[in-house]
Chains A and B, each alone.
Chain A
Amino acid sequence: EAGVVQSPRYKIIEKKQPVAFWCNPISGHNTLYWYLQNLGQGPELLIRYENEEAVDDSQLPKDRFSAERLKGVDSTLKIQPAELGDSAVYLCASSLTTNEQFFGPGTRLTVL
């Protein structure tokens, strides 16, 4: 069984530029999560999807961040415009409703 797939693995952009991250969850997993992990810190939840519905986006900075999960499978997280403080690893995870969360390898974003 393939794990959670994310791309790109690394992204370097200049501040004020837009950036997008893509996530393909484990087949059949209805719940998808985006987390942000700063260096030396634990992951912090940004948004959670149940199928195609965003059921918890309270921690998503909506002025510059947006996300979508069309058809309840793949998901895209976008930042526009990026700021220096957005440099971090963006992790995607998926789960069946009541089971463990499986994490992807993450996208390491560097904003210059």
Chain B
Amino acid sequence: GENVEQHPSTLSVQEGDSAVIKCTYSDSASNYFPWYKQELGKRPQLIIDIRSNVGEKKDQRIAVTLNKTAKHFSLHITETQPEDSAVYFCAASLSGGGADGLTFGKGTHLIIQP
């Protein structure tokens, strides 16, 4: 089955700086890659996703890049703000449509230092 590795497990950055979280996946058949943000005690919420037919997607301060050959994808957050502090999970799906169950990474605890 699919295996998703996520790094780092904890990331501390100064407010206003950029943050990058990286994930690798094992199954070359995976073609849907969402990123979820989870605040303490809250539900995971989708912040951005990318499908395998594109290499990059951007939404305001958030961007995701995908390298299918190397089987890795990354989340980029620019101009970080205190409200960006949370745990971020990457995930992969075999179907490409997101309808299949997702395989998640172990999460990155992002800390924004004031």
Contact = CB atoms under 8 A, between A and B. Distances in A.
Nearest to A41: B106
12 contacts: A31-B99, A42-B107, A43-B102, A43-B104, A45-B101, A91-B44, A98-B97, A101-B34, A103-B36, A105-B42, A105-B43, A106-B43
Contact of A56 (B36, B44, B100): B100
Instruction: Please provide the 10 A-B residue pairs with the shortest distance between their CB atoms, ordered closest to farther.
Output: A42-B104, A98-B97, A45-B101, A103-B43, A103-B44, A42-B89, A100-B46, A48-B101, A97-B99, A105-B43
Given A42-B89, A42-B107, A48 B44 contact: no
Given A91-B43, A91-B44, A101 B102 contact: yes
A5 B98 CA distance: 20
A101 B107 contact: no
A100 B107 contact: no
B81 interface: no
A43 B6 CA distance: 13
Interface string B83-114: 00000010100000111111111110000000
A31 to B, nearest CB: 5
Contact of A45 (B43, B49, B102): B102
Most buried by A among B36, B43, B100, B105: B43
B99 A98 contact: yes
Nearest to B103: A45
A26 B99 CA distance: 14
Contacts of B98: 95, 98-101
Nearest to B46: A100
Contact of B44 (A31, A41, A43, A44): A43
B12 interface: no
A40 interface: yes
Interface string A88-112: 0001000101111111111000000
Nearest to A4: B43
B45 interface: yes
A21 interface: no
Given A99-B98, A101-B102, A42 B91 contact: yes
